[in-house]
């Protein structure tokens, strides 16, 4: 289980940034390009207060109601703005660092252009049996490391990730973000609070594939 990285005065209400193809995970850094007026306002409000934004995935069918409030997934990732650049035309470039999983309890009416919601922290867990933990890490390594065989530097970094002391849950979140998996699979991994089940799900999702093709490691920032 992890400690709560949210500020002690966090009141349980977050700004929502819904996107159709991006699933954010705790512990990763995501580059974002902010250009819509509602999200420029969201960014300005975040920068002037707690710097928190919750990345949440839009559900299928979002296209018809994108300008309104299309349906979103119930589990999101709260991130803190770690770096920002305010451009002359009002747009922003950001680097958002994922902090923790949250469950959306209900949306909160607001006079702002963007959506806000009341959320509850998702309590995470992990296996405590050392043999089980080693087996899960070994299974993950067997399906992940072969994908980096053409890149010696990345292969070494990923190998060190498996061999090091990074908790299994963090390893899973880095892999879930970086590896090429369907967005629905990534969302299911975000929604899964147990690290052991996440590890097994990633192993199963990657096992059928034989061609390497993950993002570089560590993951590069990508504009959104």
Could you tell me the residue ranges of all domains in the chain?
A: 13-121, 130-206
| Region of residue 64 (phi > 0: left; psi between -120 and 50: alpha; otherwise: beta) | alpha
Q: What is the pLDDT of residues 142-155, one digit of tens each?
A: 999 999 988 999 99
Q: What would the two tokens of residue 199 be?
A: 């590890």
The pLDDT-based confidence of 212 (bands split at 50, 70, 90) is very low
The pLDDT-based confidence of 157 (bands split at 50, 70, 90) is very high
Q: What is the pLDDT of residues 90-126, one digit of tens each?
A: 999 999 999 999 999 999 999 999 999 999 999 999 9
| pLDDT at residue 3, rounded to an integer | 52
Q: What would the two tokens of residue 8 be?
A: 């002690």
Residue whose C-alpha is closest to residue 58's, from 66, 50, 48, 67: 66
Q: What is the pLDDT of residues 10-50, one digit of tens each?
A: 999 999 999 999 999 999 999 999 999 999 999 999 999 99
Number of Cβ within a 10 Å radius of residue 122: 17
Architecture in CATH of 13-121 = Roll (2.30)
The pTM score is: 0.89
């Amino acid at each position: 289980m992890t400690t709560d990285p949210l500020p002690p005065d966090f009141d349980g209400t977050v700004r929502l940034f819904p996107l159709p193809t991006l699933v954010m995970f705790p512990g990763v850094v995501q580059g974002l390009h902010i250009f819509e007026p509602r999200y420029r306002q969201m960014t300005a409000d975040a920068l002037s207060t707690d710097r928190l934004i919750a990345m949440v995935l839009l559900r299928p069918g979002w296209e018809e109601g994108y300008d309104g409030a299309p349906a979103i997934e119930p589990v999101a990732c709260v991130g803190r703005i770690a770096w920002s650049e305010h451009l002359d035309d009002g747009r922003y470039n950001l680097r958002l660092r994922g902090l923790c999983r949250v469950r959306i309890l209900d949306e909160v009416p607001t006079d702002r252009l963007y959506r806000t919601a009341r959320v509850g922290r998702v309590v995470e867990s992990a296996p405590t049996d050392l043999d089980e933990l080693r087996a899960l890490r070994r299974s993950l390594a067997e399906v992940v490391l072969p994908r980096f065989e053409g890149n010696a530097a990345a292969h070494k970094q990923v190998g060190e990730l498996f061999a090091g002391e990074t908790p299994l849950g963090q390893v899973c979140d880095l892999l879930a973000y970086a590896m090429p998996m369907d967005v629905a699979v990534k969302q299911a991994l975000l929604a899964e609070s147990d690290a052991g089940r996440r590890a097994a799900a990633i192993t199963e999702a990657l096992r059928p594939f034989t061609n390497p093709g993950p993002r570089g490691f560590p993951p590069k920032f990508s504009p959104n």
